Amino acid sequence: MTTFTLVSTAWGHFAFVARDGKLAATYLPASRTAALAAVRRQWGPLDENPAALPQFQKQVRAYFAGESVEFDVDLDLAKATPFQRRVMEHCRRIAPGRTKSYGELARAAGRPGAARAVGSVMSHNRVPIVVPCHRVVRSDGSLGGFSSPGGLRDKERLLALENPSALPVRKR
């Protein structure tokens, strides 16, 4: 069964979709209306389940309150390729407040030279903050891209939340 949940955080309403007890998608905090619209745009009408993944909900609240959190939740990666899974696994290991380049992540996933492919995996990441794609930057330390509605502003805010001194210099 697929449901959605809204979690009230210090940043707004964080939305997530759970499928059969696993996390299928997350949406960065927004207004309640915007969070609901984002879920419905990608998933259509779903039932709300305020009790879904209660430990994850606690972790989300703590994270957006500025606490260091290691997300402990099973992901629904049924449609991911083996390479995508490896990239996401290695991305999950990047510590809060730290960054890695797309190239470093490609090497860790066993595909040196596949930085662009890593960028593609990150741009299609359905579970931001859990697979912390905001911690992946260009080899020169600049931010690169971020495909959230707030774009690079969201990436900067997430990095600053975790560690303001880790924020790379933004280059255009």
pLDDT above 70 (res 47): yes
- Do 54 and 91 lie in one domain? The reply is no
Look at residue 2 and tell me whether its pLDDT is greater than 90.
Answer: yes
Residue 172 burial (CB count, 10 A): 5
Residues 144 and 94 in one domain: yes
Average pLDDT over residues 132-147: 90
Residue 134 placed within a domain:
yes
Are 110 and 143 found together in one domain?
Answer: yes
pLDDT recorded at residue 93:
96
Residue 170 has pLDDT above 60, yes or no: no
Note the pLDDT of residue 165: 67
pTM of the model: 0.91
Segment 77-96 shows an average pLDDT of: 95
**pLDDT tops 50 at residue 171:** no
Going from the C-alpha of 147 to that of each of 65, 70, 106, 128, the distances in angstroms are: 23, 22, 19, 10
Please give the residue range of the domain that contains residue 22.
2-64
How far apart are alpha carbons 19 and 53 in whole angstroms?
10
Cα angle 113, 162, 108; round to 5 = 20
pLDDT at 50: 97
Given 37, 64, 91, the domain boundary residue is 64
What total number of domains does the chain contain? 2
Residues 44 and 10 in one domain: yes
- Whether residues 51 and 120 fall in one domain: no
Question: Running DSSP on this structure, what letter comes out for residue 125?
Answer: -
Report if residue 34 sits inside a domain: yes
For residue 38, what pLDDT band results from cuts at 50, 70 and 90?
very high
Catalytic residues: 133
- Give yes or no for a contact between 110 and 86, defined as CB atoms under 8 angstroms apart: yes
